[in-house]
Structure 1
Amino acid sequence: MDRTGVITFQGGALTLTGNEVKVGGKAPDFTLMDNALGAVTLKDFAGKTKIISVTPSLDTPVCDAQLRKFNEEAAKSGSDVVVLNVSMDLPFANARFCAAAGISAAKTLSDYKDASFGLNYGVLIKELRLLTRAIFVVDKNDVIKYIEIVPEVTNPPDYSKALAAAK
């Protein structure tokens, strides 16, 4: 399912493809790759509140800042909260970024293989095959509590609203 009029990139309209999810709905499953090329699914985080930070690429300043901010917040959160950063970046690039930036509390996960997260959460940019900037907060019962799809991909998300929703 394609959606237009939701996001722009440097002012130009783009198309989101995939299933649109809603607050109050059950979080769809996904299969992502961790930095060691292991498959990770929603079930791997069962019983935890999940802050899912979605970025187009960690090789850009806004994405870099977004992961650093959520890593800082993850370090302060208890063991019942997990911060996941999902992008199309390859696991090798994610590992290199985390090592260079000192990212240890947030988990970087890659959707490069089959775009299951992008399609299941409706955040795959059709024209670029990248994920749009978004935040999802999913509670311990896998119910979606908060969604922000940032209208202009080059702008940062509203960190305070996402963090408030995770509390």
Structure 2
Amino acid sequence: MIIAIQSDPNSQDWREHYARRLQFGNWVIQAKPGHPILREMIATVTEETLKKEKEGSLVLPELNMEMNIMNWTGTGIWTDVIFKYFNDYVLSGIFSKVTWKDFTKLDVPKLVSDVLVLPITCFSPGLGEMGSQSEDHPLAFVKHYFEKLYRQP
């Protein structure tokens, strides 16, 4: 699997804008069919959706909508599933604890088990923050415009 860091804020107020201290982007990935992370992500989102349906809470509230999306189907839950995989030694073959600290300020690709983690510049170039380099950087592969289309009717 190939993924990249989406956010790595270096501020005390990160909780106001992000679901996790460090988040992996979920808009561009490459993986072999049936990779355990993909299976777990599908199962997790499905379980949460069925739970919300049973509770009658499938409609997202306007207040804090972005954070709710990140934690239900977005980068928050995606990041949780990836760390769950890294920290399951049966699946990943990793015998030591893996945390966000292993990826903060990452400026070169890092192979962890069978997952290649790319730095923030690879999928979020030109942000000018969190260590992201310019769009003409050799590792800038994909640009996300963060249009938040889920907000549009």
Using structure 1 for the length normalisation, give the TM-score: 0.23
Higher strand share: 1
Using structure 2 for the length normalisation, give the TM-score: 0.24
Give the number of the structure whose alpha-carbon radius of gyration is greater. 2
Higher helix share: 2
